[in-house]
Structure 1
Amino acid sequence: MKDTVPHTAPSTPYHRLAVLGAGSWGTALATVLARNGRSVRLWARRPDQAERINASGENADYLPGVMLPGGLSATADLASALKDVEAVLIVTPSSTLRQMCRAMAPHLPAGVPIALACKGVERDTGYLLSEVVAEELPGHVVGAVSGPTFARETALDHPTAATVAFPFGYKDRLNPGTSPAARLALSLSGGGFRPYVSDDLVGVEVGGAVKNVIAIACGMMSGAGFAENTRAALITRGIDEMKLLAQTLGGRRETVTGLSGAGDLTLTCSSTTSRNMSLGHQLGQGIPRPSCFEGRPVVVEGEVNAVSVTDLAHRIRVPMPICETVNAVLHKGANLQEAFNALWARPIEAEPFALDLSLDHPAPDTRLQFASLDGGLTA
């Protein structure tokens, strides 16, 4: 009889790690690692920010009121941040990842594993972020940390689960406990933070990239006055778009039903704590994009990835109508109300995907009642 007990090979955590990016999520991950007894260097782009973090024991710019544990030090010197580290987490915006890798290259110790805690698709190339790192930093195994995680809750040690994904080579399968995925998961384990290990990096990355775009769609419809039926429909059909893209790129559909796909999507689409959901909600209320977030220049990953995800989908001929709709509103001047009316009037399709069916919609001119937009975005 086959042994069904999970393999529990001995594993050793990484003890010296660098977290590159001192925003809210980078600081939260650094906090988790340091709380678990790891030595962590948190790299900040601005020297004044690093100095304030070290002086106050708090990242007041991004996580005010959260006191940082011992073992965590901030620096704006990349060489110092990377010196003698055993593993690196990159938590900088996806749009600057290639630039970040080039800056790291002269200082990165040979063979050190790199985990991405940023999400997206590179716009010009259509590469997943792991492919960007692999191209710029050959010789380093690349993975990702992803899941339903708001930074403040994670930093405050609320019970939180996430996926740590790396490719598994032959040696990793012989001794999974010594794989980079297992070692990083062990490094993060402790208190309320519970990681799970995956060997489907593509599936995990696709979930992370697409969920931000779907969250903007949910926010748009919520801001326009619609409620739970609409949000549930967008989440469910958004997961289907994730599955199809992941499968086409070589990932597994079932990965998208896990923490890094359905879990992350559900969280991001459930609260305006998410910048993606918040942006969509403001646009749905009729607030012009320059006036969103009270005019502050807030980076919203889904806004960037609405372009890159849909461009990638076009290149490999994957239909992603929700992402297309968001991209049209954000970047092509489409009227929000008309765009979502067109989305809802698309031909009737089958569920499950395996059933090949497409029927013309019997009432393509039906208009959704966008009550909150009557004086705003209606054409």
Structure 2
Amino acid sequence: MSYDPSPKVVELQKRLNAFMEEYIYPNEDRHVREAEELGPWKVHPIVEELKPKAKAAGLWNLFLPQSERGAGLTNLEYAPLCEIMGRSFLAPEVFNCSAPDTGNMEVLERYGTEEHRKQWLEPLLAGEIRSCFAMTEPNVASSDATNVETSIRRDGDFYVINGHKWYTTNATDPRCRIAILMGKTDPDNPDRHRQQSMILVPMDTPGVKVVRPLPVFGFYGMPDRASEVIFENVRVPASNLLLGEGRGFEIAQGRLGPGRIHHCMRQIGLAERALEKMCRRSMSRVAFGKPVAEQGVTVERIAESRIMIEQARLLTLHAAHRMDTVGNKVAKTEIAMIKVAVPNMAAKVIDWAIQAHGGGGTSNDFGLTHAYAMSRVLRLADGPDEVHRNQIGKLELRKYR
């Protein structure tokens, strides 16, 4: 199987790289400064300034596969483009390709009604609003999503929602207008995977309270706007339920597959950037009479980093190809494998890059601390390593039974 990009993708790569060089990399320091000074409750102006430029350049909504609303790219075609965006925390939102909006837009495209798409998908695709995904809860082990306790109770033409969520990315963003929430409509169903449903909750609905931003390794607002949210007697129309009662896990499977592979694509770009910084820094610093790059341990780490990145990229491209050809459900093993392999790889490469930078690597001056924080978080987000390894192991053992 050849994973060489098509002429269409090669052209998009050139345009995307040119945009990154002209607009993204020169504004990264400003982005960090705005995130630190304005915090997670404010819009970061640099993002809004660059979004119209990305639209004008035709580099907008590249992520949405199998839809006339997107660029018409497959997962495999999108992979190298997403990797380029992943080199900078500023880039994904500028191109309207950032989480959790991408996953939420795919949910609305696949499972929403025409009314849902008109009210929420169209402004999301236009970059006019943002969204959040409310699944994880503080009072239960959310690695087992059947533990979700949030109640979605039918009351005539409405559903009443009560629950406590956290790590609800984007909820503190003032542009966040809609949440996709997972809760239980049928807690007594003997099939634990048919108890849950997903429902659309406008953020201005009475009873929705964004309690606080959550720091990610001490960072607020970047690399992630993690948030804690309480839903207290929140009433939304029954028509806001997605697909039907008891189909929450079905939707989650459709949403989290693309979300996981997008995270991995971006992580490969982040690891490439870290390796680049490691090489440049170690070549420019002299210790014990010779450049750090010529110290044996550094050369070995650079070599190992290149090997690990290439392995992770090939595995991710294979997963993307499988998603395109056999579907997300059948490709669950490949998706689980990259979800374990790629963030672990990126965290190791970034850790070595920090070491090569010396004490400065632990500051915010080189972007490595933000990068490490995100890579470490992704060993938990969208399912922890342990859950994915357990699934991979069971699927492997099934071959011998």
| TM-score, normalised with respect to structure 2 | 0.27
| TM-score, normalised with respect to structure 1 | 0.28
Give the number of the structure whose residues are more often helix, by fraction: 2
